[in-house]
Amino acid sequence: MAIPQALVFLLSSFLFVSSYGFNVTLINRDSPRSPFYNFSLSNYDRMTASFKRSIHRRKFFDSSDLVPYVYGGEYLIKATIGSPPFEILAVADTGSELIWTQCRPCSTCFKQDAQIFNPRKSTSYKAFSCNDSTCQAMRTPGCKNNVCHYNMGYNDGSYSNGDISIDTMKLGSFVPRPIVFGCGHDNGGTFSGLETGIIGLNAGEFSLLTQWKITKFAYCLVPFTSVGKDSLLIFGDQATLKGPGVVTTPLLKQTISYFVTMEAIYVGNSKLVVPFVKTANTWLDSGTTLTFIQHDLYNSLSSLVKSHIKLPYARAPWGGFNMCYLTKNLDLGFPSITLQFPGASLSLSPHNTFIMVTSDIACFGFLPTNGSNILGNRAQTNYLVSYDIRKATVSFLSHTC
């Protein structure tokens, strides 16, 4: 669906966002810089919680209606909205489209530690009427007191309902510019109260990227164990990858999410051909920690991986894992795994594929699924991952993030 003319006019002065670009810090929800950080938990406690979130989020990708599963998100972005600027801390989600934040007055709001945005105090805020073309462009618009209304439900029972509005938003050092977003007056579910909403980063027409006409973005995710380092989200031409080591594969054009075709998996020099490859079969998702492989393929993969490992087998400390080994060093005894896509081979080290779940037990970070494959953020760490929406491609470059 084309962007409505009213929205085109409002955003037209910002047509060349991607001509130079800007960067934003991605805050891992379990890093010491995150408000989610709990000093009383061990790294292994945090990992276990992250793994459980991955299991739940997988339901999003198995769902025919593609309603995202939130459950706190894995990465957060600081932004400001309104005039004067009001700071929000939102979940950055490549699986979501709509941008929304909690707003006063609340009919029902989840408890939020930070102050809640009050649109009446913003001189640049405007709610859309029901007859506005922007409202009509929404997939399922509602109308309440002649104000355009949205209803967003998530697979875990969380929800956000409110007004479709426009105001100025600022990310990083980039100058403030208009953004259409949901001003949520009725919100609830599994939100922790530390986040204030969601910033959608898929290719849908109401995502941040489409509204600001950003056709290129990239991220570089630091490993979970890195201390004092931040992951980076890059917008615009700065996100372009060129030179030795860059590999590129097509994205499926018929979807607003990021979907690629996995053709084969190599374990060491042993090859597994992905069966029945006719179209894209693998989601790229920054919001899932673990990687999920279609069940039959996973059975073959896990058997092959086991045949390459001579370490003592260990009982998983958490029931979700199928393959765990006694070790204190991921650099010894584990095979490399390479994912083959059209035009691109993604070589994963044991640090991408195995996880130290305790000080002396490492578990395979791939799990089976009945749905599509999902390449999670653990497998993408220490890679620059660059998306070109106009060309419908994604590129990878091994890099110490």
Pairing, β 197-200 against β 216-220: unpaired
With contact defined as beta carbons under 8 Å apart, do 266 and 272 qualify? yes
Q: Is 93 a catalytic residue?
A: yes
- β pairing state of 393-398 and 247-250: antiparallel
DSSP 9: H
Catalytic residue of the set 30, 132, 167, 285: 285
The sign of the torsion formed by the CA atoms of 30, 396, 392, 255 equals: negative
Rounded CA-CA distance 319/61 in Å is: 22
Cα–Cα distances in angstroms (integers) from residue 367 to residues 48, 203, 290, in the given order: 14, 27, 7
Does 360 qualify as catalytic in the annotation? no
| Active-site annotation holder among 30, 93, 132, 163 | 93
Distance in angstroms (rounded) separating the CA atoms of residues 203 and 257: 6
Only one residue has tokens 């669906």, namely: 1
On the CB side of 28, CA atoms within 13 Å amount to: 25
Instruction: Provide the Cα torsion 99, 104, 105, 107; round to 10°.
Output: 50
Q: Which residues are catalytic?
A: 93, 285
